[in-house]
Amino acid sequence: MSNHHQVNHQANWENLGEKTSQSLLRMRKVLVLERIMLVAFLLSICILFLPWRQTIPGKGTVTALRPQDRPQTIQNQIGGRIERWHVSEGQKVKQGDTILLISEISQSYFDPELPLRLKEQLKAKQGSEAAARQKMRATEDQIGALSRGLNFQLIAAENKVKQSINYVQSDSADMQALRQFYRVSQSRLARYEQGFKDGLFSLTDIETRRLNVQNDNAKLIAQENKLNSSKQSMLIAQIELDNIRAKYQESLAKAQSDMGTALSGEASAQGDIAKLRNEIANIDFRRGLYVVRAPQDGYVIKTMKAGIGENIKDGESVATLQPENPLVAAEIYVNAMDVPLMTEGSEVRIQFEGWPSVQFSGWPSVAVGTFAGRVFSIDRMVSANGTYRVLVKQMVPVPQTDEPWPIQLRQGSGVFGRVILNSVPVWYEIWRQLNGFPPSLEREPKSVGNQGK
Task: Classify residue 243: in a domain, yes or no.
Answer: yes
- pLDDT 10s digits, 139-172: 888 878 777 777 777 788 778 878 888 887 887 8
- Decide if 329 contacts 70 (C-beta within 8 A): no
The region of weakest confidence among 45-49, 75-79, 118-122, 417-421 is: 45-49
* 251 and 334 together in one domain: no
* 144 and 245 together in one domain: yes
Question: Contacts by 159-165 with C-beta closer than 8 Å and gap 24+?
Answer: 160/237, 160/240, 160/241, 161/234, 161/237, 161/238, 161/241, 163/237, 164/230, 164/233, 164/234, 164/236, 164/237, 164/238, 165/234
Domain count, the chain: 4
Query: Binning pLDDT at 50, 70 and 90, where does residue 174 land?
Result: confident
Write the Ramachandran bin of 131: left for phi over 0, alpha for psi from -120 to 50, otherwise beta.
alpha
Q: Is the peptide bond before 397 cis (omega within 30 degrees of 0)?
A: yes
Domain of residue 364: give its range.
52-68+326-451
Query: Binning pLDDT at 50, 70 and 90, where does residue 265 land?
Result: confident
Task: Classify residue 167: in a domain, yes or no.
Answer: yes
Task: Classify residue 109: in a domain, yes or no.
Answer: no
Q: Is the pLDDT of residue 446 over 60?
A: no
**For position 371, which CATH number holds?**
2.40.30.170
- pLDDT 10s digits, 203-232: 777 777 778 778 877 877 887 887 788 888
**For position 266, which CATH number holds?**
1.10.287.2610
Question: Contacts by 262-271 with C-beta closer than 8 Å and gap 24+?
Answer: 262/132, 262/133, 262/135, 262/136, 262/139, 263/132, 263/136, 265/128, 265/131, 265/132, 265/135, 266/129, 266/132, 266/133, 266/136, 269/125, 269/126, 269/128, 269/129, 269/132, 270/129
Question: Contacts by 252-256 with C-beta closer than 8 Å and gap 24+?
Answer: 252/143, 252/146, 252/147, 255/139, 255/142, 255/143, 255/146, 256/143
pLDDT at res. 18:
60
* 252 and 295 together in one domain: no
* 186 and 296 together in one domain: no
